[in-house]
Amino acid sequence: MRIGQNPAKFVDTVVQPQEITVAVITCIPMLSGFYEQSLDVLKACLSSILANTENPFDLMVFDNASCPGVREYLHAAHEEGIIQYLILSEKNIGKMGAWNFIFGAAPGKYLAYADSDIYFQPDWLSQSLDLLEALPNVGMVTSRPMRTPDDLSSFTIEWAHQQGPEIFQEGKFLAWETYWEHARSLGHSEDKARQDFDDGRDLRLTYNGRCAYIGADHFQFVARRDILQSIIPIPSEKPLRGDRALDNAINDLHFLRLTTCEAFVQHMGNRLEDFSTIADQVKRKSGILKRLLWLPGISHGLLWLHNRIFRIYFTHGR
């Protein structure tokens, strides 16, 4: 039985969501080993969003069954008003499963997505939205230039060839420093990265005074929510496998996949580093212990043991 009237009936207005939803997925099952600094990386990610996003936005965080220490931080950030939408999944439903939820639930007209190890520089969002609106039929924009497989952007390349040389240029335009900044964050050696850089080429568009490279990546992108909603559900079978289904879906729907011509986001990985000195640090860390640990028999055994322990915690944890 109800007694009286719900006082909410007499409220005339409700707060409307912002036009832009910035969404982050995190999964930190423990704070040791590979994940030792992951909470600090997550804090740096969210802090950079708050500090360097000039457009009004709502922040959505989907936590994929992280450990209690991470959830305590997320609860506190939500209580402080840093996070507007906090989703806590009891079990890890995979990145694609979290995408399905976010793409369906995000209230904004635009969704700006990032993994939880991305650092944002000033103007990242405004520059990406500018490309999204300035060029026709843009499906997704990544806020840094990078080279991605041609087959993931085959429609964009086909469209570009039809535009003529005043719009489409093929050559070497990307600076080595920009390329290496991202490659080293993925753990690539400088020699291998340099070889790949020299062997590759860039596909550039100049359209209505805007510069863009062809290609985008699922680790960070800005897109219209209605486009993302048209491709869900994305099959989710493994925690971190199958994320190129998003890239393929955008391409198959004949939308352009682009990046900005300047680097406005940076991949941090699982360690907080001074990115400008990573190459020097790697060269200095070549002592006897490191060489010993990376001998084939020893390194394979230690990595096997680490993976076995992780699987036990991941499968039977929380």
For position 283, what pLDDT does the model report?
34
For position 278, what pLDDT does the model report?
34
Residue 175 lies in a domain: yes
For position 243, what pLDDT does the model report?
72
Q: How many CB atoms lie within 10 A of CB 208?
A: 7
| Cα(13)–Cα(271) distance, integer angstroms | 45
Claim to verify: residue 263 and residue 290 sit in the same structural domain: no
For position 67, what pLDDT does the model report?
97
Side-chain half-sphere CA neighbours of 55 within 13 A? 20
For position 236, what pLDDT does the model report?
72
Residues forming beta bridges with residue 21, ordered by sequence position: 58, 111
Amino acid at 109: K
| pTM of the complete model beyond 0.85 | no
Q: Indicate the angle between helix axes 38-52 and 68-79, nearest 10 degrees.
A: 20
Claim to verify: residue 70 and residue 192 sit in the same structural domain: yes
For position 277, what pLDDT does the model report?
36
**Distances in whole angstroms, Cα of residue 267 to Cα of each of 7, 120, 181:** 47, 9, 9
Claim to verify: residue 153 and residue 104 sit in the same structural domain: yes
Residue 143 lies in a domain: yes
Q: What is the pLDDT of residues 51-72, one digit of tens each?
A: 999 999 999 999 999 999 999 9
**Considering just the CA atoms, what is the radius of gyration of the chain in Å?**
22
Q: Check if the beta carbon of residue 102 is closer than 8 Å to that of residue 246.
A: no
Residue 125 lies in a domain: yes
Claim to verify: residue 168 and residue 306 sit in the same structural domain: no
For position 281, what pLDDT does the model report?
37
Range of the domain at 304: 286-316
Side-chain half-sphere CA neighbours of 78 within 13 A? 14
Claim to verify: residue 253 and residue 123 sit in the same structural domain: yes
Domain CATH code at residue 109 = 3.90.550.10
Claim to verify: residue 100 and residue 128 sit in the same structural domain: yes
Q: Which tokens belong to 270?
A: 């699982």
Claim to verify: residue 179 and residue 312 sit in the same structural domain: no
Amino acid at 221: F
For position 24, what pLDDT does the model report?
98
Side-chain half-sphere CA neighbours of 64 within 13 A? 22
Claim to verify: residue 108 and residue 255 sit in the same structural domain: yes
Residue 5 lies in a domain: no
Claim to verify: residue 185 and residue 293 sit in the same structural domain: no
For position 58, what pLDDT does the model report?
98
| Cα(141)–Cα(256) distance, integer angstroms | 9
pLDDT under 50: residue ranges of the chain: 275-287, 290, 294
SS (H, E, C) 98-166: HHHHHHHHCCCCEEEEEECCEEECCCHHHHHHHHHHHCCCEEEEECCCCCCCHHHHHHHHHHHHCCCCC
Claim to verify: residue 251 and residue 220 sit in the same structural domain: yes
Counting the structural domains of the chain, the total is 2
Query: In sequence order, which residues have a C-beta less than 8 Å from that of residue 298 and are 6 or more positions away?
Result: 292
Q: What is the pLDDT of residues 206-219, one digit of tens each?
A: 999 999 999 999 99
Residue 276 lies in a domain: no
